Amino acid sequence: MAWNIADLTEHVVDTVPDRVALIIADEPRTYAQLEARANRLAHHLASQGIGPGDHVGVYGFNSHAFVETIFAAYKLRAVPVNVNYRYVEAELRYLFDNADLVALVHDAQFAPRIAAVRDALPMLRHLIAIDDGSGEDVSAIGSVSYDEALAAASPERDFGERSDDDIYVLYTGGTTGMPKGVVWRQEDVLCVLGGLVNFETGVRVLDEWEFAKAAAEAPDDAGFGVVIAPLMHGAAQWGTINGLINGRTTVLTPRFDPHDVWRAVERYRIPTLSITGDAMGRPLIEALDEGGYDASSLVAVASTAAVFSATVKAQFHERFPNLVIADAVGSTETGYNGVRVIMKGGVEKPGLPTVRMGPDTVVLDDDMNIVEAGSGVVGRMARGGNVPLRYHKDPEKSAATFVTVHGRRYSVSGDSAVVEADGTMTLLGRGSVCINSGGEKIYPEEVEAALKAHPAVFDVVVVGVPDERWGERVAAVVEVRPDHSVTLEELDAHARVHIAGYKVPRELHVVEKIERSPSGKPDYPWAKRIATGVTKS
């Protein structure tokens, strides 16, 4: 057996076939059912000439079919590729072409978008449509029915051996630019995100059979996990994959709806929520009181991929006095880099997180030297050890991101950071969206965290806009709470309590709703267009 997602999951299937693997839209599927359906899809894909190394797009909302497609592709040593369901035609055309898709499994409702771009994509030769209840006619683009494809194929597991070197790809949009495909060896990504290496100690699990045995023999009542982000986002994929390779039951919500999440917590007695910062945390805590749900099973909330403000954490602690909140930092290119744990009454520094660094985490300066603790040097967060191979079809970005320092390979994120005297790391924000005002660097995330503490601010994105004197000035794009209002003067007075005066917004732009990615990341290009009055061409 290899360090391989399909191999590890199949071992759990063989040990506890009747255990429930997934519950989606309150429909349970056992490990045996998941296996049989994934085998059928794999055989169907193989009949279309799809095999090792081929890229298969998955374009839809959370569903059993989405998970089955991921599993089926790995069984064939093919590579599932996540497609953002919010993309419009130009973005889809770029992604389908850049990702070298030869097949696409899609929700039926997206057939018109696919039809608009398919003629420009000669490599894309096979389409499979998931019945999503939309009633969309998929015949015009030649898609075959997902259910009919499975019904005509074998449920047997009769595939060839797999390898630690099989590929995992995750497309990430980040905060700027076109999406990039991050290419990992499966063994490496399992070490970083699949639990094969202990986050705190760096100790590696060495025997895949012992790992699989422990996962499969966990008791049936070991508890449920819940995945509330879209599966086309890495955090959701790894929440689900971790559940599968560790023999747990995973509950997925088809789309993020805070009331659906609390209903799942109440029904399945879920102990832990994994969220993406305020984008999920704020609507969740407000929906909890609105719905009056029984959430007494909840003992921990873990946040990744977006800022989780002190204000929203305080709301969770008011509702759950003994709640453990873990605020983790990392990126698609690096995986886990550090974490801080916050209990009620704990002292939390305002602004962005200061975390305990992971065992392979460093900060690199502009000359690619490792920053010394307490030096005050601002560098970029990086991770050594198990790191990605490259960006797909982008050698220039690959060379800039995946570097060798003193004989060791590192993946360098776009996050600026400093190493404190005690060895902890303080995140400053994304260098790509850093605002330069009169030579002073201002990180939007820090300003956003300060503004979110204002009672009238529901959500906010901060950007730099052109300024004749200073080069750039700070502008805040704000979504105001219902029945509230706020002025620039009020935000100014509030912000100065938390951040230096040069970081305070000089402009306020109120919008009906802040645009964010499905993963909760702010859409900085959108916010800059709002702040500058430039419409998208």
Same domain? 60 vs 158: yes
Same domain? 75 vs 212: yes
Residue 27 lies in a domain: yes
Among positive and negative, which fits the CA dihedral 383, 301, 343, 310?
positive
pLDDT the model gives residue 279: 81
CATH of the domain at 14: 3.40.50.12780
Strand 101-107, strand 79-82: pairing: unpaired
CATH of the domain at 397: 2.30.38.10
Q: What is the residue-level pLDDT of the chain in tens, covering all 537 positions? A: 899 999 999 999 999 999 999 999 999 999 999 999 999 999 999 999 999 999 999 999 999 999 999 999 999 999 999 999 988 888 899 999 999 999 999 999 999 999 999 988 999 999 999 999 999 999 999 999 999 999 999 999 999 999 999 999 999 875 456 789 999 999 999 999 998 988 778 899 888 888 877 877 777 666 688 999 899 989 899 999 999 999 999 999 999 999 999 999 999 999 999 998 888 898 999 999 899 999 999 999 998 877 788 888 999 999 999 999 998 888 889 888 898 888 877 656 555 678 999 999 999 999 999 999 999 999 999 999 999 999 999 999 999 999 999 999 999 988 889 999 999 999 887 777 888 887 788 888 889 988 998 999 999 999 999 988 888 899 999 999 999 999 999 999 999 988 888 899 999 999 999 998 766 778 888 999 999 987 553
Same domain? 391 vs 453: no
Same domain? 460 vs 427: no
Which of 404, 432, 460 is the C-terminal boundary of a domain? 432
Strand 180-185, strand 249-252: pairing: unpaired
SS3 of the chain: helix, strand, coil, percent, to 5: 35, 30, 40
Residue 324 lies in a domain: no
Distance separating alpha carbons of residues 516 and 247, to the nearest angstrom: 33
pLDDT the model gives residue 121: 93
Among 63, 20, 405, 73, which residue's Cα sits nearest to residue 248?
Answer: 20
Same domain? 60 vs 191: yes
Which of the 8 DSSP states describes residue 522? B
Distance separating alpha carbons of residues 154 and 360, to the nearest angstrom: 44
Residue 335 lies in a domain: no
Distance separating alpha carbons of residues 300 and 270, to the nearest angstrom: 10
Residue 362 lies in a domain: yes
Same domain? 408 vs 441: no
Same domain? 412 vs 358: yes
Same domain? 101 vs 212: yes
Domain of 165 in residue numbering reads as: 5-216
Residue 239 lies in a domain: no
Same domain? 428 vs 438: no
Residue 300 lies in a domain: no
- Please report which residue ranges of 100-218 form alpha helices under DSSP H: 111-117, 146-151, 186-193, 208-216
Same domain? 510 vs 363: no
Residue 427 lies in a domain: yes
Domains: count for the chain? 3
CATH of the domain at 499: 3.30.300.30
Among positive and negative, which fits the CA dihedral 71, 387, 417, 343?
positive
Same domain? 171 vs 72: yes
Which of 371, 406, 432 is the C-terminal boundary of a domain? 432
Among 528, 493, 488, 489, which residue's Cα sits nearest to residue 508?
Answer: 488
Distance separating alpha carbons of residues 367 and 324, to the nearest angstrom: 38
Residue 537 lies in a domain: no
Same domain? 470 vs 403: no
